[in-house]
Amino acid sequence: MLVTVLGRYSPYAPVGGACPGLLVQARGVALMLDGGPGTVARLQMQVPAAHLTAVLVSHLHHDHIADLHCLQYLMADQAPGREPLPIYAPGGDNPDRRWLEPSSFGARWVRLLPLPVDEGLAVGPLRVTFARTDHPEPCWAMRITDGCRTLVYTADTGAGVDLAPFARGADLLIAESTFVAANGQNRRGHLTAAEAADLALRAGVGRLLLTHFLPSTPAAEAEAEARAIFPPAEAAVEMRTYPV
C-alpha cells in the first residue's frame, strides 16, 4: 500500500501548496481521502481519472472538500466511459454537503453516498473503518488495511477524543498537526505536533507523518517537537509517496 500526500496545509493553501488530500493506492485500487483546494490538479499527476476508485470525505469543512465539486467535470472530460465515481461523505444537515452533490449534468459521472461510519467499507482488497474525532464539525478518522499493512489517518481532531485505541499498531499514522507549542494556545478541534506524537507513542504505531499545517506553522519545528516524543516522526512532504 502506498500513500501520496496531495496537500498538507489548512485552512488555506500557501503559495505553491495545497490543502488536505491523500491518495492511497493498493493492488489496483486508488482511493482519494479528502480533496481540499489544489488537490485535484495534483491527483491527475498521480493517477488517470479513469483509475480513481472512490473518494472518502472525513468531514465537510471547506479545506477538505473545496476541489471535489469539480470531480464531476474531470470525470466527464477525462473518463467519460467510466462508472460513476462514488464520493462517500458524512451525512447530516450541513448545507455544505450540497457542494458535493453532482449537477444534473454530473450525475452521470459522480455519485454522492453516505460515509458508512458504522459498518465500514470494503473497496477492492482494502477495508476501511471509521472513528469519530474531536472536531466542531462531525469528522471521522479512517483506518485502512489491505490485510497486511495498515494506515490510519486522523483527519481533523483535537485531543478531546483519544484515538489511540483506533490507531493501535498501525504501520503508518498520518496525524494532523495544525500547530506547534508556540502558536497552539487557543486551538479547538486540532492538535499540536507534540500531541500528535503522544498519540503515535501511545498507539504503538510504526511511523508518524505530520500534516494539516497552518501555513504559518514551521514544519521543521513541528517535526522537531514530535521527534522529541516519538523519534520516527516526520513532516509530510507534498507530492511525496510513502510506503505504508
Beta strand 241-243 pairing with 140-145:
unpaired
Q: How far is the CB of 64 from Zn ion (least distance, A)?
A: 5
Q: Which residue, judged by CB position, is nearest to Zn ion in the bound state?
A: 61
Give 59's contacts (C-beta < 8 A, 6+ positions apart).
90, 135, 137, 138, 139, 140, 155, 156
Which one of the spans 53-61, 96-104, 194-202, 224-232 is the region binding Zn ion (CB under 5 A)? 53-61
- 225 is a site residue for Zn ion (CB under 5 A): no
Applying CB under 5 A, does 8 fall inside the site for Zn ion?
Answer: no
Which among 155, 173, 178, 190 has a CA at the least distance from the CA of 59?
A: 155
Q: Is 42 in the site for Zn ion (CB under 5 A)?
A: no
Question: Quick one: which of 67, 156, 198, 238 contacts Zn ion (CB under 5 A)?
Answer: 156
The CA distance from 154 to 174, in Å, is 6
Establish if 67 lies at the interface with Zn ion (CB under 5 A): no
- Based on CB atoms, which residue is closest to Zn ion, 8 or 61? 61
Q: Is 223 in the site for Zn ion (CB under 5 A)?
A: no
Residues that bind Zn ion (CB under 5 A): 10, 61, 63, 156
